Structure 1
Amino acid sequence: MANPKLKIDTPQGSLYTQASKSGKVTAILEWNKGFGAEFTEKFSSAQKFVDSEVLRLDAPYMPIDTGMLIRSGELGTVVGSGEVNYVAPYAGAQDATAQSRSYDPRRGGKWFERMKADHKAAILRGAAKIAGGKK
């Protein structure tokens, strides 16, 4: 027979069951008071790290003429929002062109996908370290 007073304690809070006089069992979740604020700050810092790393690591993979395409990412992105936006009007067309550029074979379209293939593990490790997790 199951224990009617099951309790699980974690740093985030506790989960326990409580039985009423009628025998009905209810599960109750109680968050630790400081958990929300503490982890919100950690997750926010980790998101800022990821956004900044994407902007920094995308740059060597992007086509470059005047540098405006790279700068448009800095202007179009709110670091920490979880969304990196390249706002130059020609950004989509440049990204859709899959071929590399003659002046630098690493530069060309699909820069985020190619950068992610090379650096995803390092970005995840850094974000996990900041957020207090494991990766």
Structure 2
Amino acid sequence: MNYRVDLLSARELSQRKGLGEGGVIQKYIDSEVIKHCAPYAPFETGQMQKSATLGTVIGSGEIVYNSPYAKFLYYGKVMVSPSTGSPWAKKGERKNLTQKPLQYNGAPKRGAYWFERMKVDHGDAILKEVERLGK
């Protein structure tokens, strides 16, 4: 008696369950991360939130805050021009990081490391829904 067993690769299996790039579950995760990060991310003009929506391909598994100052705001430290010591830098000049924390305005949750802080508050709920969707 001969038997033949065809097994799916991990990639094929994850795609069928909606876990891969462009899958239903990955789209859900990306959308929920953007939604839940909104109250934690800096909001002065709304540009940061818009940049996440515009800079992210939902389902890619990567959230992109497509803004020239997003990294600066995420890490929460003042950066200055090496030549002037001012937060304003000459065109093409790389800023130096200081140890001085940025001051954030708005809702009490807004500030540095917004993704990490959002995960603490909402990560379990997102994962619970992912588990439900994957069944």
Smaller-chain TM-score range? 0.5 to 0.7
Matching residue of 1:31? 7
| Counterpart selection for 1:111 from 88, 110, 114 | 114
More strand by share: 1
Poorly superposed stretches of 4+, deviation over 6 Å: none
Matching residue of 1:10? none
> Does 2:63 align with 1:84?
yes
Unaligned runs of at least 5 residues, structure 1: 6-16, 19-27
More helix by share: 1
Q: Secondary structure at the match of 2:74?
A: helix
Distance 1:104 1:39, change over 3 A: closer
Q: Secondary structure at the match of 2:66?
A: coil
Unaligned runs of at least 5 residues, structure 2: 77-100
By relative contact order (CA 8 Å, sep 6+), the higher-ranking structure is: 2
- 1:39 positional shift: 5.1
Q: Superposition RMSD on alpha carbons, in Å?
A: 2.7
TM-score (norm 2): 0.68
Deviation sequence 1:92-112 (CA, Å, 0-9, x none) = 000010666343221011000
How many equivalent pairs are there?
105
- 1:29 positional shift: 4.1
> Does 2:106 align with 1:126?
no
How many Å separate the matches in 2 of 1:92 and 1:109?
A: 10
Determine what percentage of the aligned residue pairs are the same residue. 37
Counterpart mapping for 1:1-135 below 5 A? 29-31=5-7, 36=12, 40=16, 42-43=18-19, 44-97=23-76, 101-132=104-135
